[in-house]
Structures are given as C-alpha cells and as structure tokens.
Amino acid sequence: MRVNLFVALGLALCLGILSGCEKQKKNGGEMSDPTILSLAIKSAVGALKPKPQSLDPRTHLTREAIDKAGTPILFAGLDSRKAYATLSPFGENRGVVTWISSDGITLSYRNGLLTATRGLGPDLMAADTREALVAIRSGAGTSVRVYDYLDGEDQPIRRSFICKANSAGREDIEIYGLKLHLRKVTEDCSNPDYKIRNIYWISNQSRIWQSKQWVGPDIGYVFSQQLSQ
C-alpha cells in the first residue's frame, strides 16, 4: 500500500512539471501543444535506436583526397567529447576565418588563434588574442587574454588570463605525407580559477599548422590541424 502511494506521488511530481497543462502560445509554423513528456518519449525512442558510430575522419583521410578537395581542410578534435571532424572555410572577416563541420559546428581562428566556437554548448563567444599572438610568434613574452562567454541566463561573462609564451624547441610533424619541421611554442595562462596550457606548432612563415587550445572550462581543449598545403 505504501509503496503504491510512494510511486503515485513520485509520478505526480514527474508529470506535474512534465505536462503542459496549459495551452501554449502558438507561433509561426509550430502548431502543436508539446509537453516535455511527449518530447521525452520521442527522445527515448531516439535513444534506443542504434546510433551510427561517430567516425574519426583520420582513419580514412589521405593526402590525395585532401589535395583534391578543392577547399582547405581543418581537422579538429575534442578529446573531452571524443568528437572529431573535418571542417571547411565558412567565411572570413577581418582576419578571422570561420570553419564549419558537416554538423554545423563552427570554429573561428584569427592568425591561427581560436577566437570563437558555435554549437558546442558552452561556446566561446569571442576572444581578444592580439597580445597573445605577438608573444606566441616570438616564442617569448607575456600577454593578457580575454575570453567572452554567456552564462546560463545568456548574460555575457568574461574570463581574463595572464599568459606567458615559451619556446619548446622544434618537432618533426607529418600531416598525411606532408613532412614539416616546426617550432613548438607553449603558452601558460592562469587566473585565480584556472590554469591552462595552449600548445602551437609554427612554421618559419609564422603559420600555425597545428595547435591545442583551450575553449572553456566545460569543453576543455580543441586540437586542430591544417591539413591542406
């Protein structure tokens, strides 16, 4: 008897919030009166279906395919989500190149330094990397970095770091048959809440071929690699 009661109360709670007991305002083409419950059911059905395995594009990329693509290709990986994708250029505005993946995630870089992400959830909205670029290119020096985010209520929040760039020697890197001899530069940044380390592999022409850069506290680091020559 008591167990039934308990279950009934629990259900009442769940449904109490889940159900849209009231008519909703209808807008545009969205006509139905959805409830979280019906969405949850749909979502549950979706979750039970076998999912296509997330393919790591690195397993089937070749130098020939990259060179024939007709567009520059950027590889990006988020180890924290085990998500890996190739991206192509989506737009360029005042030195910032925005790249897009097939599922609509965009990453923006200014001279190879990450300035924004979209579609990752707690996105990096913008970043001031001007001082950092000078230090990273020279492999020495301190800089101030400013990152902009939105909080849970969509209000802008800002995280500032003091960074120090250090030269970490040279490394031989091979990107699908392309052999490169690159400078490795680390950038250690900190503020009272976080300590982060970005790493860059830079050519003599100051091109950042490959990097591991911090996006934000939830996403962690994004690794990216320029695949095209």
Partner 1 sequence: MGIARKENENVGTSGRMVIRLGKTSIALLAYACWAIPASAQSPGYSYSLYGSPGLIDMPTAQSAEDAELVQTVSTFKGQARTTLTFQLTPRLSASFRYSTLDNFSLTGGRTWDRSFDLRYRLIDEGRYRPAIAIGLQDFMGTGLFSAEYVVATKSIGDRLAVTGGIGWGRLGSYNGFSNPLGRLNSGFYTRPGFSGLGGEPNSNAWFRGDAAFFGGVSWAANDKLTLKLEYSSDAYAMESTRGLPGDRFVHRSPVNFGLNYRLRPGIDLSASYLYGSVLAVGASFTFNPKHPPAKGSFGRGPVPVKPRIPRNVSPADWGTGWIVDDARTTKIENILSQLLTAEGMELEALEMSGTTARVRIRNNRYQAMPQAIGRTARLLTQVMPASVEVFKIEPIVDGMVPSITTIHRSDMETLENTSDGAWLSYARAQINTSSAADGPHSRTDLYPRLTWGLSPYIDVSFFDPDQPLRADLGVELSGRYEISRGLSVSGALRQPVVGNLDSGRAADSILPHVRTDANLYAQADGPLLDHLTLDYYYQPAKNLYGRFSVGYLEKMYGGVSSELLWKPVDSRLAFGLEVNYVKKRDFDQLLGFQDYDVFTGHASAYYEFGNGFHGELDVGRYLAGDWGATISLDREFGNGWKVGAFATFTNVSYADFGEGSFDKGIKLTIPISWVTGQPTRRKAITAIHPLTRDGGARLNVNGRLYETVRELQEPILKKRWGRFWR
Q: Which of residues 96-155 bind partner 1 (CB under 8 A)?
A: 96, 98, 100, 102-106, 108, 110, 115-116, 118-123, 125-128, 146, 148, 150-155
Decide: is 193 part of the binding site for partner 1 (CB under 8 A).
Answer: no
Secondary structure class of 9 (helix, strand, coil): helix
Secondary structure class of 91 (helix, strand, coil): strand
- Which range, of 3-11, 133-141, 193-201, 203-211, touches partner 1 by CB under 8 A? 3-11
Decide: is 190 part of the binding site for partner 1 (CB under 8 A).
Answer: no
> Which of 56, 57, 67, 83: binder of partner 1 (CB under 8 A)?
83
- Which range, of 15-23, 58-66, 170-178, 185-193, touches partner 1 by CB under 8 A? 15-23
Number of neighbours of residue 129 by Cβ within 10 angstroms: 23
Smallest separation (angstroms) from partner 1 to the CB of 18: 6
What distance in Å separates the CA atoms of residue 109 and residue 93, rounded to the nearest whole number? 10
Q: Between residue 20 and residue 39, which ones bind partner 1 under the rule CB under 8 A?
A: 20-39
Phi, psi of 27 (to 5 degrees): -130, 140
C-beta closer to partner 1: residue 56 or 67: 56
C-beta closer to partner 1: residue 103 or 172: 103
- Which strands form 83-93's sheet, in the order they lie side by side? 113-118, 106-110, 96-101, 83-93, 74-78, 220-226, 208-216, 195-202, 178-190, 156-175, 140-150, 126-128
Q: Between residue 207 and residue 226, which ones bind partner 1 under the rule CB under 8 A?
A: 218
Phi, psi of 30 (to 5 degrees): -95, 110
Decide: is 180 part of the binding site for partner 1 (CB under 8 A).
Answer: no
What distance in Å separates the CA atoms of residue 179 and residue 120, rounded to the nearest whole number? 32
> Which of 66, 73, 76, 85: binder of partner 1 (CB under 8 A)?
85
